[in-house]
């Protein structure tokens, strides 16, 4: 089917992020200080429904596992850096593109920092000590079950519990909160499974490898070994993100909501109105975000949603490390003004 599935998926992905407002600084940075739970609610719903559908697809032989390697040292360090960058920038690799398409200048600056971070990792990788790059294979939870049927039953129960947890969190926020996160989360889980089907695309959603790909092209460093290794995936993910950008930009123009804006109101409330400070921190946040993503070999879409949906131990480790770093950074970085 060629590139059509990834283009369609990118268009829908961009709309979903915009529709649920999970790309907003207030949604992501607000989560880091436990003031906004839109992002975790969407992730829980996406992983919950996604894991159930994936288990059924595996049972029927419609798809295969795409598990990232368990490189513990690199994943832990990458998760720590990613969490810091995500809290400071208030964005993740996929939502940077969506926010940029809506006119967020700080996201654009974070994008530049992210490209530099991704490029830097391709040169840092050969210099990293061996213990950080030691792989323990590609383990996943289904390996520890005696049959696919038992795995499907257990993972379905866990998936349902995730959906229940998301709704319980939602109830604590009051009656005026909308449920766009639920629609977006469920749709994202479904789309991810459709892309994983063998006749469709046979690959999961991801975003951060595209930064390695485009930074190599822009700096003419395609001869780099790491760039060569990630070329196919990076090309696929770049098309996915370009489609998302076009989708959101078109919607913003149609709705007349496109606005060039450097600082979100939440940033001003938390860190003040200094434009210079926001530019510097946005660049640093983007740099750390993508350096961490490439070090961990994945991000919120490729590791947490796609990876945890498949029960990858590497993705679970990344999720735990990243969220611990994310919440700690939010508490410390925004403490004075909060």
Q: What is the pLDDT of residues 52-87, one digit of tens each?
A: 999 999 999 999 999 999 999 999 999 999 999 999
Q: What is the pLDDT of residue 174?
A: 74
Give the alpha-carbon dihedral of 230, 45, 241, 16, to 10 degrees: 170
pTM of the shown model: 0.95
Q: What does each C-alpha distance from 171 to 38, 102, 179, 186, 324 come to in angstroms?
A: 12, 30, 11, 18, 24
What sections of the chain are H helices per DSSP? 4-20, 25-32, 38-60, 72-89, 93-101, 105-124, 148-171, 180-196, 209-218, 225-255, 265-271, 275-296, 306-309, 313-333
Q: What is the pLDDT of residue 240?
A: 96
- Give dist(CA 54, CA 64) in Å, integer: 9
- Give dist(CA 263, CA 275) in Å, integer: 8
Residues 6+ apart with CB under 8 A from 223: none
Strand partners, 104: 261
The predicted-structure confidence for 250-282, as pLDDT tens digits, reads as follows 999 999 999 999 999 999 999 999 999 999 999
């Amino acid at each position: 089917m060629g590139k059509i599935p990834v283009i369609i998926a990118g268009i829908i992905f961009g709309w979903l992020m915009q529709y649920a407002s999970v790309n907003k600084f207030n949604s992501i940075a607000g989560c880091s200080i436990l003031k906004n739970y839109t992002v975790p609610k969407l992730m829980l719903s996406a992983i919950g429904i996604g894991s159930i559908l994936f288990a059924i697809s595996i049972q029927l032989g419609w798809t295969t596992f795409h598990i990232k390697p368990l490189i513990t040292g690199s994943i832990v360090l990458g998760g720590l850096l990613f969490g810091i960058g995500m809290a400071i920038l208030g964005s993740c690799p996929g939502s940077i593109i969506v926010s940029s398409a809506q006119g967020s200048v700080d996201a654009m600056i974070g994008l530049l920092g992210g490209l530099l971070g991704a490029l830097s990792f391709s040169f840092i990788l050969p210099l990293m000590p061996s213990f950080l790059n030691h792989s323990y294979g590609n383990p996943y939870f289904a390996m520890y079950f005696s049959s696919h049927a038992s795995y499907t039953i257990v993972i379905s129960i866990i998936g349902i519990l995730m959906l229940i947890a998301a709704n319980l969190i939602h109830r604590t926020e009051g009656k005026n909160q909308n449920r766009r996160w639920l629609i977006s989360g469920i749709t994202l889980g479904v789309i991810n499974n459709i892309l994983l089907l063998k006749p469709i695309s046979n690959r999961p959603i991801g975003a951060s490898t595209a930064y390695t790909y485009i930074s190599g092209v822009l700096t003419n460093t395609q001869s780099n070994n790491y760039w060569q290794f990630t070329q196919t995936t990076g090309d696929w993910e770049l098309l996915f993100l370009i489609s998302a950008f076009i989708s959101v930009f078109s919607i913003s123009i149609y709705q007349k909501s496109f606005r060039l804006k450097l600082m979100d109101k939440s940033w001003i409330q938390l860190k003040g109105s200094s434009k210079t400070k926001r530019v510097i921190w946005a660049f640093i946040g983007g740099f750390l975000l993508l350096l961490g993503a490439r070090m961990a070999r994945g991000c919120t879409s490729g590791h947490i949603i796609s990876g945890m949906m498949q029960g990858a131990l590497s993705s679970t480790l990344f999720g735990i490390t990243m969220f611990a770093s994310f919440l700690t950074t939010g508490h410390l970085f925004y403490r004075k003004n909060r």
